[in-house]
Amino acid sequence: MKKKQWQFILAGTGGQGLILAGAVLAKAAISEAKKVIQTSSYGAQSRGGFSQAEVIISDGEIYFMKCDKPNFILALSQAAYDKYKDNVTSECIILYDHDTVISNKRMNDKGYSFNQRAIELGNSKVINSVALGAILKLCPILENESVIRKLKEELPEKVVPLNLEAFEVGYREVTP
Partner 1 sequence: MNRPVGKQFMQGNEACVFAAIDAGARFYAGYPITPSSEIAELCAEFLPQVKGVFLQMEDELGSMAAVIGASAAGTKSFTATSGPGFSLMQENLGMAIYTEVPCVVVNVQRNGPSTALATRPGQGDVMQTRWGTHGDHPIIVLSPSSVQEYYDLTVRAFNLSEKYCTPVIILTDEVIGHMKEDLVIPQLDDLEIINRKVPTQSIEEYRPYQTGDDDIPAIAPFGSDYIVHISSSCHDETGFSNSKPQTADKLVRRLHRKIDRNIEDIVQVEWFGARNADLCIIAYGAVSRTAKQVVVDAEEKGLSVNLLRIITHWPFPDAQVKEALNQAKAVIVAEMNLGQVAQEIQRLNSSHTPIYSLTRIDGEMIIPSQIMSKIEEVMRS
Tell me the sheet residues that pair with 50. 13
Q: Where does the chain show beta strands of DSSP type E?
A: 5-13, 35-42, 50-58, 72-75, 93-97, 110-112
User: CB of 14: closest distance to partner 1 in angstroms?
Assistant: 11
The CB-of-38 to partner 1 minimum distance in angstroms stands at 4
The 8-class DSSP code of residue 175 comes to -
- DSSP bridge partners of 56: 7, 37
Q: Does the footprint of partner 1 cover residue 74 (CB under 8 A)?
A: no
Find the binder of partner 1 among 15, 42, 137, 149 (CB under 8 A).
Answer: 42
For the CA atoms of the chain, what is the radius of gyration?
15
Least distance CB 18 / partner 1 (angstroms)? 14
**Please, what is the minimum distance in Å from the beta carbon of residue 17 to partner 1?**
16
Query: CB–CB of 109/94 below 8 Å?
Result: yes
Among 40, 123, 124, 144, binds partner 1 (CB under 8 A): 40
Q: Is position 38 an interface residue for partner 1 (rule: CB under 8 A)?
A: yes
Burial label for 4, CB within 10 Å (0-12, 13-18, 19+), is exposed
Interface stretch with partner 1, choices 65-73, 85-93, 98-106, 123-131 (CB under 8 A): 65-73
Among 37, 79, 162, 164, binds partner 1 (CB under 8 A): 37
108 touches partner 1 (CB under 8 A): no
Contact of 56 with 25, CB cutoff 8 Å: no
CB 53 within 8 A of CB 76: no
| Residue from 64, 87, 108, 172 binding partner 1 (CB under 8 A) | 64
User: E strand or H helix at 26, and its extent?
Assistant: helix 18-31
**Which one of residues 1, 44, 47, 90 is an interface residue with partner 1 (CB under 8 A)?**
44
Is 66 a binder of partner 1 (CB under 8 A)? Answer: yes
Where does this chain bind partner 1 (CB under 8 A)? 23, 26-27, 30, 35-44, 62-66, 68
